[in-house]
Amino acid sequence: MSHFGRSGPPDIKDTYSLLVLNITFRTTADDLFPLFDKYGKVVDIFIPRDRRTGDSRGFAFVRYKYADEAQKAVEKLDGRNVDGRDIMVQFAKYGPNAEPIRKGRIVEAFPKSRGRSRSRSPRPRYRDDYRDRDHRRRSRSRSRDRYDRDRYDRDRYRYRERDYRHRSRSRSLSPVYRGHGRGRYDDERRRSRSRSFESASPVRGSPSPKRSPSARKSPTYRDGSLDYSQDERSQSPRSASPQGRAAASRSPSPRNSDTDE
DNA sequence: GTTGAGCGTT
């Protein structure tokens, strides 16, 4: 019950994984087990968690033994209110085993109402070409595959970036994971992203000529005063203007006024 | 203490 995901996937050969989304961040597998187990035989439940914090990401994977039970749970638990939030149950796609779900296979086996279009939640399907993944891989070149993988990794990196900013604001330190053995991919990703950022879109909707990379990399020392001004502003952009202006005409100190006279 | 589109581990 609690050993789910502790020793990795126990045995996945004829199991069907369901993706549970919109769950609370404190919902655990033990909480979903009795819920999903009631509608079928659950062989394993796994909830992806953060590598650093360990918090739940907000979704879980429920592995069923039979597809019929899985489908039943999807239609039964989909939209159910769990822990104060309506969860969304659907078949997993990008799983490690890729459920052998075919187009209309399960729907045909369970013609409840000629389709579940107006069943409850007519949410759109995300990526229906996942079945063509293998086909595209063999057909397309390797460069294409690499590009796709890069995008996939970058998508996952979003979580890390958000959490990273929450944990520490010192992004300028650029903590590299070199020496740990697993920093190779991170380095590649970072470099690729950095280059794209500098080459493709430097700034979006924020035209700052003063912060131009060219000015920063090529400091013109032709003019001392100008360079000084730039440097001063760059060092403390909000420490010279607001303070001086506020202390000059905003708050001349009441005590000073009293003692001045 | 917070957040909310999505796709997974020993």
Distance in Å from B10's C1' to A77's CA comes to 29
**Tokens representing residue A174 in the block:** 């650029």
Tens digit of each residue's pLDDT (9 = 90 or more) over A72-100:
999 999 999 998 999 999 999 886 665 54
Tens digit of each residue's pLDDT (9 = 90 or more) over A192-240:
444 444 434 334 333 333 333 333 333 333 333 333 333 333 333 333 3
Name the residue with tokens 């822990």: A83
Rounded alpha-carbon distances, angstroms, from residue A204 to A20, A150, A154, A172: 35, 22, 19, 20
Q: Grade residue A45 by pLDDT with cuts at 50, 70 and 90.
A: very high
Higher pLDDT, A19 or A257: A19
Distance in Å from B4's C1' to A91's CA comes to 20
**Tokens representing residue A146 in the block:** 């690499």
Nucleotides of B under 7 A from a protein CB: 2-10
Residue nearest to nucleotide B2 (CA to C1'): A166
> What percent of chain A is modeled with pLDDT above 70?
32
Amino acid identity, residue A59?
A: F
8-state DSSP, A168:
-
Distance in Å from B3's C1' to A168's CA comes to 17
| CB of A107 nearer than 7 A to strand B | no
| CB of A94 nearer than 7 A to strand B | yes
Query: Collapsing DSSP states into helix, strand and coil, what is residue A88?
Result: strand
Higher pLDDT, A216 or A68: A68
| CB of A135 nearer than 7 A to strand B | no
| CB of A97 nearer than 7 A to strand B | yes
Strand B-proximal residues of A, range 49-68, CB below 7 A, are: 55, 57-59, 61, 63
* Three-state secondary structure string covering A125-149: CCCCHHHHHHHHHHHCCHHHHHHHH
| CB of A93 nearer than 7 A to strand B | yes
Annotate A25-64 with b (16+ C-beta within 10 A) or e (fewer): eebbbebbbebbbebbebbbbbbeeeeeeeebebbbbbbb
Strand B-proximal residues of A, range 136-195, CB below 7 A, are: 155-156, 159, 162, 166
